Chain A
Amino acid sequence: MFLRWVTAAYLVYLVVPIALLLVGSFGELWLNTLLPTGSTTQWYVDVAKDPSFRRAFAASLAVVAITCTACVAIGLPLAYALFHTESRRLRALVRVLYQLPVALPPLVLAFGFILVFSSDTLPWLGSIWLLAAGHVVLTLPYFLQAVVADMQRLGLRVLEDAAESLGSSGWQRFMHIVLPALRHSILAGLIIVAALSIGEFQFSNLVAGFLSRTYPVVLLQAFYGATGFACAATVILLALAMVAAVGGALTAGGATRMNAAAA
């Protein structure tokens, strides 16, 4: 009974701010009252019309797409290599290395990026690719964690041994066994990556150029204006994060399914 109350209380705590955002985004005027007065959809129209929000929206989508693609392209081979490393010490070392960004504040990473990429030799500060590169560093640990854990759980090594004894080549094993068997964890990893990338603020705020600002960075500005506008803009971010997560998951799932079917 006690547990039920704790759960209920926590859910309320979790849902109320989001609910208030929703309410605020449809409210005409919200000053010193408990709830806003009047109702309107004008704030959404305003956000949609705002050129800086439109650009930020597109930038965020681009960054998420690049980040997710890079996480799979880098993370999957890395996870695979890590899983197959015989040396315990090397495995532990790599583990610490790739987990480091989790412990490190994104701020530190951002300062590093600014130092390196504002020089004349590497003048890439402000490009969307650099922004995505940072997001990859920040999100890759979560992707790797999900995939490596699944490899261990599945006993992937034995599955590969079996496939090999049945005549399967290295590439066939990867395409027929490794990829399809891991599709759930790849999916789960990508959902986390997409959600983190969409909402990332600290790093993006410092590293993004004026034209490559992501949605959360621009959103901060909204809170200096009308409450309704800020709420509507935030609800859009919320929706965006959910869409990106679900979309990323579906794409990844579809891709692995197609691989399994085609091969």
Chain B
Amino acid sequence: MSSVTTPAVALEHVSYRYPGTQAGVTDITLEISPGVGPSGCGKTTLLRLIAGFIKPDAGAIRLNGEDVSALPTRSRECGVVFQAYALFPHMRVRENVAYPLRVREVAADERRRRAADMLELVGLTGLSDRLPAQLSGGQQQRVALARALVFGPRALLLDEPLSALDAATRAAMRDEIRRIQRAQNIATLLITHDQDEALSLADRIVLLNEGRFVQSGSPHEIYDRPADAFVAGFVGRANLLDARVIDAQTIDTLIGRLTTPPHGRAAGSALRVLVRPERIEVASAANGATGENVFAAKVLRDRFFGATRQLEIAAGNGRLEIETAMRDDVTQLRVPREAIQFLNAR
């Protein structure tokens, strides 16, 4: 058995090219410990590599410390939930869930008991005699989850598990997956292109772009301290401003001159700053904003979402996206000093 610090899933400098194409992943190194889940792009390839459907051109894949790069898929003991669930259409729900036990030649009695337990965990006890075609998308998803977990896999791999569901089911399933994953305490890799899904589900996010590692960290780190403009723009909405350094705490942007936290860069150098739309404060004519970084604002577009409004605003010679709960007409805006983050120019 592996030591406590051994990650359940580890990739070391893994590369893969689809034969005859430029597509694939390049030099990916990542670790998933129990209860950790990354997300990103180049992503399904990563999952197929870990599950063993494809073999890496370079690098090693470890499960609980064991190098499984040479093992066939069926010996890797990864529970995979496919995008379209891939339930066996001719088997009833309980047969689907018991299938991994059947091929492991578990006795029929125990098979039935463990499948029933797993169906209870995912909340489908009453539906065990149905065929997959008689289930809703969310229910099929639960069956796929139960089937992937029933044999006690080393890791759970979820490929865009929520993408085929409607919005209402998706939110419920998101919590459900989190609950089940916690209950089983199993290392889980969740592949998604949906930033909300990644932020709300994951303990750790790994962001890939064009098959390459970009950044990893907790959802808070990814959102609040993005490594570059790509991450900032991908996770959440972002105002990215090109700027020129005036002095230690002042920069010039298209919006106007901004007072910032100390940035430690030389006067005259170029940099890029990020301001999240929800961090910008707005004010109406009635209660004008005061203090530093205050600018006159002209609303170009106003989209109402009930709880919030998303505004596109012209200020100085630039434009800003702003998210606010205020209902009054916006005439002024203030960029709080602490809302300004510095990015590596890319």
Residues of A bordering B, CB below 8 Å: 154-155, 158-159, 161-169, 172, 176-177, 180-181, 183, 260
Contact = CB atoms under 8 A, between A and B. Distances in A.
B104 interface: yes
Contacts, number: 69
A166 B72 CA distance: 12
Contacts of A167: 74-75, 77, 100, 103-104, 151
Contacts of B84: 155, 158
Contacts of A161: 53, 73, 80, 82, 86
Contacts of B78: 165
A162 B103 contact: no
Nearest to A154: B89
B90 interface: yes
B99 A176 contact: yes
Contact of B88 (A169, A172, A181): A181
Contact of A183 (B76, B80, B90, B148): B90
Nearest to A86: B19
A165 B80 contact: yes
Contact of B74 (A155, A165, A176, A177): A165
Interface in B196-214: none
A163 B88 contact: yes
A166 B147 contact: yes
Contacts of B86: 155, 158-159, 161-162
Interface centre among A159, A167, A176 (most CB of B within 10 A): A167
A177 B89 CA distance: 9
11 contacts: A159-B89, A161-B53, A162-B82, A164-B72, A165-B148, A166-B103, A166-B148, A166-B151, A168-B74, A176-B99, A180-B91
A165 B90 contact: no
B43 to A, nearest CB: 16
Interface string B135-174: 0000000000001100100000000000000000000000
Given A181-B89, A183-B90, A163 B51 contact: no
A166 B102 CA distance: 10
Interface centre among A155, A166, A167, A176 (most CB of B within 10 A): A166
Contacts of B89: 154, 159, 181
Contacts of A154: 89
B110 to A, nearest CB: 16
Interface string B65-95: 0000000111111111010101111110000
A172 B103 contact: yes
Given A177-B88, A180-B90, A260-B90, A163 B82 contact: no
Contacts of B80: 161-162, 165
B88 A159 contact: yes
A155 to B, nearest CB: 7
Contact of B73 (A158, A164, A181): A164
A55 to B, nearest CB: 42
Contacts of A181: 88-90
A165 B82 CA distance: 10
Contacts of A169: 74, 103
Contacts of A164: 53, 72-74
Contacts of B53: 161, 164-165
B287 to A, nearest CB: 58
Interface centre among B77, B79, B99 (most CB of A within 10 A): B99
A260 B102 CA distance: 12
Contact of B79 (A158, A159, A165): A165
Contacts of A172: 103
Top 5 closest pairs, chain A to chain B, by CB: A162-B86, A166-B100, A165-B80, A180-B90, A158-B86
Contacts of A168: 74, 99, 103
Contact of B99 (A155, A158, A166, A183): A166
Given A165-B51, A167-B151, A176-B99, A158 B82 contact: yes
Interface string B26-65: 0000000000000000000000000111000000000000
A177 B75 CA distance: 18
Nearest to B83: A158
A161 B89 CA distance: 14
A165 B103 contact: no
